[in-house]
Amino acid sequence: MSISFCTNCGAKLNPGAKFCNNCGTSVAIITNTTVTPEPAQSQQPQGSFAYKYIMPASYKKGLISQKACTLIFSDDSIFTVMVDNKMMQQHVAAVKESVKGEKLLKRTAAVMKAGYTFSDRYWEMTPNQILSENQNNFSIRNNTVEKIKFTRSTVGYSYDDTTTNVPPSILIKCPGSKFNYILNSGFDSKTLVSVLRSLFPGQYKGPKK
């Protein structure tokens, strides 16, 4: 199971990392613990601003550059909200404090879900508040999307019979631009597919359910 953020300091973890680059905490301790995170929140709470689905992801720019973000799908726009490391660290610290004294499994599960619980805050924020939170945040108008493709995780095979897990992804194509996202584990794929098919009936490519 992949972990997006360090359970000690909240810093973003590189794929396959065994130690946190920021504080040096071993990732192996958590990786070997079997915990199944709950799916991302899939229903729209009262008071939210026509948001249909909110999920943590990584915005992929170029061949190797990735930036942790939150993807927000609404009735008229797709928002890419960059993760502020300081805010994430504060959130992880608050989560750890809230489960202090609980058993290891529960503490681990709470921290592993921190990316999703951090993203929940956007349900109650206006689009303007979301976009102004970080100068690198941006939105894509739904009516400018020519194609949106969701690909579930796959397993690739090399010439020496070794396997590579390819994470789930979303590709958004607009006139003159493409936007690539790597999706974090734990999201509800059925709900995501339903939302994408509803918002983009003629542009969606991918699984039917």
Mean pLDDT of the chain: 81
Query: Residue 167: which region, alpha, beta or left (left: phi > 0; alpha: psi -120 to 50)?
Result: beta
Give pLDDT tens digits for 116-163. 788 888 999 999 999 999 999 999 999 999 999 999 988 766 666 677
Residue 58, pLDDT above cutoff 80: yes
User: Each residue of 96-108: b (16+ CB within 10 Å) or e?
Assistant: beeeeeeeeeebb
What percent of the chain has a predicted confidence (pLDDT) above 70? 74
CB count, 10 Å around CB of 170?
A: 22
To the question of pTM greater than 0.85 for the whole model, the response is no
Give pLDDT tens digits for 16-56. 676 666 666 665 443 443 344 444 444 454 445 789 999 99
Structural contact between residues 187 and 39, judged by C-beta atoms closer than 8 angstroms: yes
Specify the higher pLDDT residue, 179 or 11. Answer: 179
